[in-house]
Structure 1
Amino acid sequence: MFTRRENLKQYMQFYPVVSTLIALNIMIYVLTILPIIGDFVFYFGLGSNALISEGEWWRFVTPMFLHGGLLHLLFNMFSLYLFGPELEKLAGKVRFLTIYFMAGLFGTMVTFLLQDLAYNHVGASGAIYGIFGAFAALVYYARNTMPQLKGIIVPIIVISVIMTFLQPNINITAHLTGLVVGFLIGLSYFHPKRIISWKMRKK
Structure 2
Amino acid sequence: MGHILEHLLNIKKQNGAGYLVLIDPDKQDIESASTLAELSAEANVDAILIGSSFLMSDRLDPMIQAVKQASGLPVIISPGSSNHISRYADAILFLSLISGRNPEFLIGEHVKAAPTIKRYGIEAIPTGYMLIEGGSCTSVQFISATLPIPRDKIDIAVAHAIAGELLGMKMIYLECGSGSIQSVPNEMISAVKEQ
Who wins on radius of gyration, i.e. which is larger? 1
TM-score range, shorter chain: under 0.3
Structure (1 or 2) with the greater helix fraction: 1
TM-score between the two structures when normalised by the length of structure 2: 0.25
Between 1 and 2, higher relative CO (CA 8 Å, sep ≥ 6) is seen in 1
